[in-house]
Homo-oligomer: A and B are copies of this chain.
């Protein structure tokens, strides 16, 4: 078994806000992120798949196809978008780095032929990232 990881990037706006909380409560918990005009990041996504190396082609996964899947399922939906306002899953959960990793896992699960989705890593900035390995195991 081998793991293969491919990176992609998207630039999005977001904010952290819970409607049922007061402005003070939102600012206490979320700090500057509670600004509802939004701010933004260059997110880096690392998607890792696991599988056996094909003995003929030497590939775990077709790299062009993997790139197209990431583009179609994630980048085209998130890039140059306001996550809270334009991406359905973030109307019901806050687009924290953790939740973005979970959401991307759900978008990709079952979509990659040949290989198994192993890990989704999302960097919000160079000094902060979240890893998600799916429901069972971390």
Q: Tell me whether chain A's interface is mostly helix, strand or loop, or mixed.
A: mixed
User: Can you tell how many copies of this chain the complex includes?
Assistant: 6
List chain B residues, Cβ under 8 A from A125: 9, 11, 42
Chain A 3-16 per-residue mask, 1 if CB under 8 angstroms from chain B, else 0: 11111110111101
Q: How far is the CA of A50 from the CA of B130 in the complex (A)?
A: 10
Report A's interface with B, CB cutoff 8 A.
Answer: 1-9, 11-14, 16, 18, 29-33, 35, 37-42, 48, 50, 53, 55-60, 62-64, 79-82, 85-86, 93-99, 101-102, 125-133, 137-138
- Sample 8 A-B pairs with CB under 8 A, ordered by A number: A2-B130, A4-B128, A8-B127, A12-B40, A35-B81, A38-B38, A38-B40, A38-B82
Q: A11-B40, A31-B64, A58-B99 are in contact. List 15 more A-B contacts (CB 8 A).
A: A4-B98, A7-B128, A11-B125, A13-B40, A18-B56, A29-B57, A35-B81, A35-B82, A37-B85, A39-B80, A39-B82, A41-B41, A58-B95, A58-B96, A63-B128
